[in-house]
Structure 1
């Protein structure tokens, strides 16, 4: 990726972001989001009120276009999973993870149609799997294959964005779809797919708020405040499950039962960067190196900004 190059799709996404009307001297945070989940959390918990800065939102369907926007500095920061963060860094994107959360990775999964004859990871041998290149779905598919002693073949993967992969699965163009929440819960509750292999035991469950080096240098105080608001909103959401699930469904436009399912089973918690986080992220990076998807080893330690500590 080259800095400041935008695809047509990204440009269109950013053009649709609501404009920030700022008082003179107020900081503007350009926030990226994936399927509206972060904004929905903050809005439902009332954490977007009385901000000491302005926020301009841009929404993306997956981590890859969000990483592209970070690379172009079209956004300052956004939520990104462990695997796509590693690929972004390996591709030279100048970002750091400044806040960390860990969740139950069940919903990062390999899905099949409800009537599929596939029953275990071993049944994926010779099958076609749809996913985003470099996504947490790509990672979980590789881990699922490895758990059964399998390696991907030349034609194993069809690299497709989530909506296209879902359509390909339902139409039988692929045998399995490796994806993440809320797509997993949406497909399950709609009766369109079932979980063949979940992420439990395969994924660390880590995801991050990652910001550009430029934003961390110039907007650190605002980013720190934003992260604390996310932590408070997460705490509020688990104290008000019915209200938040309903708000989430309404704001991001998915079925209420899918919103509640993916929210409750993820059990997200924001944590400090510690030795376990570093070890888990390094293990993921090393797995991609062994799989031949990274050209050289990535030392994950410099890819974290340790200044943020979630409030107790």
Structure 2
């Protein structure tokens, strides 16, 4: 699909977070179960050409008898956690602000483990063409900024950048975020259909290797190292399947630490092998640019500050009311064996061989 046809405006964006209490209450966990009724198969959505942490954890043998069942690829984090909230899949992952908003709208979900974040290697950058005159926040008034979805990580970072640049709320409203599929974003920028393109991960590094672009700013420059997104499960699923949830969350935590303590080349080789084995007609070549998952805390442990930042952002935007949610109610570390600050993490020796 050509980038022009893939771009939609804020006015065309259908909110994935406006779930009714009725829709959410109808969600059910219908994965395969053992004789005792425990779910042993977790349905999930993936990302084309990428390996997500649960897939890595399963390949490393960290999920035990719990198996993953891919149902298709997601189009965005908000869509993924909506699918989890309504019972179409058993877990979903998104930017923490999207998870906060979904919970504020009445979805009975809990964040259970962080899975991506920002550090010196894993970050989202807001890129312009090398000869672009855009240099500051004020230069973005009237300009088009392409990102994978609205109301999530990229738009939050854009808002923070514009606010710190001294723009008023009315001036911020004149900057136009546009939805562009990640695989089309670089091309749309180079064809000047966008003024700014949000690029992250292997797509960012691939674009930088091609050359001709420069960063206007990055989320790492704005906020430093932080965990930005979590996997969520419904309260019902956690009540009915605590052992499965514990296996899943702890397995993801172990995979985070395996990737953190294993040579980069070995991590890339493992993920490349996973993509090839799953047979989805994907190109694994961009994986060579992988550097980090960016998770700040040990084994994906969730902290208050990682959610409070986005509660405050949503309140400031008027998306939720002050006091509408309590941060402590939004997440739990109870299913993560490595969540306690002084808990033993997976040893580098066991991580090295993927056992």
TM-score where L is the length of structure 2: 0.70
Distance of 1:62 and 1:38 partners within structure 2? 16
Residue 285 of structure 1 corresponds to which residue in structure 2? Answer: 311
CA distances 1:108-161 after superposition (whole Å, capped 9, x unpaired):
221223443333444323321122112211111111212211242245222344
- Which has more radius of gyration? 2
Q: What secondary structure does 1:202 align onto?
A: helix
1:30 aligns with 2:52: no
Distance of 1:44 and 1:116 partners within structure 2? 44
Q: 1:186 to 1:66 in 2, by over 3 A?
A: farther
Deviates more, 1:85-94 or 1:289-298: 289-298
Residue 13 of structure 1 corresponds to which residue in structure 2? Answer: none
> 1:44·1:248 contact (CA, 8 Å) conserved in 2?
no
Residue 292 of structure 2 corresponds to which residue in structure 1? Answer: 264
Distance of 1:34 and 1:190 partners within structure 2? 27
Among residues 205, 225, 228, which one is paired with 2:247 in the alignment? 225
Pairing 1:98-109 to 2, within 5 Å after superposition: 98-100=112-114, 103-105=117-119, 107-109=123-125
Shift of 1:233: 2.0
Among residues 139, 155, 159, which one is paired with 1:142 in the alignment? 159
Distance of 1:74 and 1:246 partners within structure 2? 32
Among residues 266, 270, 274, which one is paired with 1:247 in the alignment? 270
Pairing 1:44-63 to 2, within 5 Å after superposition: 44-47=59-62, 51-58=64-71, 59-63=73-77
> 1:30·1:74 contact (CA, 8 Å) conserved in 2?
no
Residue 42 of structure 1 corresponds to which residue in structure 2? Answer: 57
List gaps (5 residues or longer) in structure 2.
1-18, 25-30, 276-281, 339-343, 345-355
Residue 10 of structure 1 corresponds to which residue in structure 2? Answer: none
Distance of 2:140 and 2:235 partners within structure 1? 40
Distance of 1:288 and 1:23 partners within structure 2? 41
Distance of 1:4 and 1:115 partners within structure 2? 51
Shift of 1:295: 4.9
Q: 1:251 to 1:167 in 2, by over 3 A?
A: farther
Pairing 1:42-121 to 2, within 5 Å after superposition: 42-47=57-62, 51-58=64-71, 59-100=73-114, 103-105=117-119, 107-121=123-137
> 1:109·1:179 contact (CA, 8 Å) conserved in 2?
yes
Shift of 1:163: 3.6
Residue 172 of structure 1 corresponds to which residue in structure 2? Answer: 192
Shift of 1:225: 0.9
Shift of 1:229: 1.4
1:185 aligns with 2:205: yes
Q: 1:142 to 1:245 in 2, by over 3 A?
A: same
Shift of 1:73: 0.9
CA distances 1:57-112 after superposition (whole Å, capped 9, x unpaired):
23313202202211221112133222221232233322111123574345122122
1:123 aligns with 2:157: no
Q: Would you say how many aligned residue pairs link Structure 1 and Structure 2?
A: 294
TM-score where L is the length of structure 1: 0.79
Deviates more, 1:168-177 or 1:109-118: 109-118
Q: 1:271 to 1:28 in 2, by over 3 A?
A: closer
Q: What secondary structure does 2:159 align onto?
A: helix
Q: What secondary structure does 2:65 align onto?
A: coil
Q: 1:44 to 1:188 in 2, by over 3 A?
A: farther
